[in-house]
Amino acid sequence: MSLIELNNVSKFYGRDESRTVALESIQMKVEVGDFISIMGPSGSGKSTLLNILGCMDVPSVGEYLLKGRSLKGVDHKELSHIRNKVISFVFQHFALLKNYSVYENVELPLLNRKLSTKEKREKIFTQLEKLGINKLYKKHPTQLSGGQQQRVAIARALVSDAEIILADEPTGALDQKTGRELLELLSSINENERKTIIVVTHDDKVAQYTRRIISINDGRIAADVANTENPQDVFKNTSNL
CB neighbourhood size of 223 (10 A): 10
Closer by beta carbon to Mg ion, 136 or else 214: 214
Q: Which does 178 bind (CB under 5 to 8 A by kind): Mg ion, ligand ADP, none?
A: none
Element (H, E) at 212: strand 212-217
Q: Is 196 in the site for ligand ADP (CB under 6 A)?
A: no
Q: What is the DSSP string of 183-211?
A: HHHHHHHHHHH--EEEEEES-HHHHTTSS
Q: 4, 5, 35, 47: which one contacts ligand ADP (CB under 6 A)?
A: 47
Give me the DSSP letters along 36-99. EEEE--TTSSHHHHHHHHTTSS--SEEEEEETTEE-TT--HHHHHHHHHHHEEEEETT----TT
Q: Which of 1, 19, 20, 78 binds ligand ADP (CB under 6 A)?
A: 20
Can you say how many angstroms the Cα of residue 47 is from the centroid of all Cα atoms in its chain?
11
Of 96 and 200, the one with the shorter C-beta distance to Mg ion is 200
Q: Which is nearer to Mg ion, 47 or 196 (CB)?
A: 47
Q: Please, which of residues 145-164 interact with ligand ADP by CB under 6 A?
A: none
Give the Cα separation of 79 and 89 in Å (integer).
Answer: 15
Question: Which residue in the shown chain puts its C-beta closest to Mg ion?
Answer: 47
Q: What is the dihedral of CA 32, 156, 114, 66, to 10 degrees?
A: -30
Burial class (CB in 10 A: 0-12, 13-18, 19+), 226: exposed
CB nearer Mg ion, residue 53 or residue 158: 53
Pick one of ligand ADP, Mg ion, none as the site partner of residue 45 (Cβ within 5 to 8 A by kind): ligand ADP
In this complex, which beta carbon is closest to ligand ADP, that of residue 64 or of residue 103?
A: 64
Site string for Mg ion, 42-61 (x = CB under 5 A): ----xx--------------
- Binding window for ligand ADP (CB under 6 A); candidates: 36-44, 96-104, 145-153, 204-212: 36-44
Q: Where do contacts with Mg ion occur on this chain (CB under 5 A)?
A: 46-47
Q: Where do contacts with ligand ADP occur on this chain (CB under 6 A)?
A: 13-14, 20, 22, 40, 42-48
